[in-house]
């Protein structure tokens, strides 16, 4: 159960104290970490803590617990009512170029940095759904401000309303990207390497053009070795692999105005 309350947030039995319930919290989550087709989408949302329970009453949950139509409905509500939303779409070319955990952490930091520039110390807590080591995420975000409380958990979208809201925004944005690719290129399925429809489409596309993969394919995914070997390219041989060892933030690829 999601456990944000009007007086604090329960995190493994430890209550994160917030001095003013009208101050702001941030939720961050991603969609599309594992697919072989399309971008990874990471969303950051800002909301007053006292709005979290209202979102829960509206049905905001982990996006995986909602069907497509309900996710779309809630995304529309969130877009019109949340204080701020940032969506970062990470292209396959960048995913193929650098360590995925580093890239994800750097994107989290990028999002929080942008939001902190807008709202400053009104933001008291950042909640992140992460598959990597929590310590690294916390350290990266706290370089922005040591005063920020950072809660990082696997499956945080099932426990914390701000993260659940971010998960819905990210998932809907990712779904729209796949819909766009379907209309433009005839891509089928969800884009995941476990989806038979997606794999069949890749096989057919590869037969038609074995030497020129489309830009929305993640070429470093090992699935390609079997079904489209000419498209496969390990990270060590990719054009941007040199960034992997020294990349420190998304500013290698993006600029903060």
Q: Note the pLDDT tens digit of each residue in 71-130.
A: 999 999 999 999 999 999 999 999 999 999 999 999 999 999 999 999 999 999 999 998
Structure confidence by residue, pLDDT tens digits, 178-193: 999 999 999 999 999 9
In the structure, what pLDDT confidence band is assigned to residue 11 with cuts at 50, 70 and 90?
A: very low
For all residues of the chain together, what is the average pLDDT?
A: 86
The mean pLDDT of 189-215, rounded to a whole number, is 96
Task: Please choose, from the candidates 125, 155, 156, 157, the residue with its C-alpha nearest in 3D space to the C-alpha of residue 142.
Answer: 125
User: Residue 48 pLDDT more than 60?
Assistant: yes
Domains with residue ranges and CATH for the chain: 4-179 (3.30.420.10), 185-243 (1.10.10.460)
CA geometry: angle 26, 101, 238, nearest 5 deg: 130
Which are the contacts of 123, defined by CB distance < 8 A and separation ≥ 6? 23, 24, 25, 26, 46, 112, 115, 116, 148
Q: 141: which residues sit within 8 A by CB, 6+ positions away?
A: 108, 109, 112, 126, 128, 148, 150
């Amino acid at each position: 159960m999601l456990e944000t309350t009007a007086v604090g947030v329960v995190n493994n039995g430890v209550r994160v104290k917030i001095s003013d319930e009208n101050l702001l919290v941030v939720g961050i989550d991603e969609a599309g970490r594992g697919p072989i087709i399309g971008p990874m989408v990471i969303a950051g949302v800002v909301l007053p803590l006292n709005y979290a329970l209202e979102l829960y009453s509206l049905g905001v949950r982990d996006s995986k617990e909602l069907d497509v139509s309900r996710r779309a409905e809630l995304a529309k509500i969130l877009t019109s009512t949340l204080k701020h939303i940032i969506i970062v779409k990470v292209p396959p070319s960048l995913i193929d170029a650098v360590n995925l955990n580093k890239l994800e952490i750097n994107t989290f930091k990028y999002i929080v940095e942008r939001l902190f520039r807008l709202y400053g110390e009104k933001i008291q807590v950042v909640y992140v759904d992460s598959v990597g080591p929590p310590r690294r995420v916390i350290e990266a975000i706290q370089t922005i401000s040591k005063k920020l409380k950072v809660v990082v958990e696997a499956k945080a979208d099932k426990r914390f309303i701000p993260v659940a809201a971010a998960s819905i925004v990210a998932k809907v944005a990712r779904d729209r990207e796949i819909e766009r690719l379907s209309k433009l290129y005839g891509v089928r399925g969800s884009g995941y390497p476990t989806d038979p429809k997606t794999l069949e489409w890749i096989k057919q596309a590869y037969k038609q053009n074995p030497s020129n993969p489309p830009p929305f394919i993640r070429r470093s995914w090992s699935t390609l070795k079997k079904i489209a070997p000419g498209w496969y390219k390990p990270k060590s041989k990719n054009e941007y692999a040199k960034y992997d060892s020294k990349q420190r933030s998304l500013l290698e690829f993006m600029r903060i105005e």
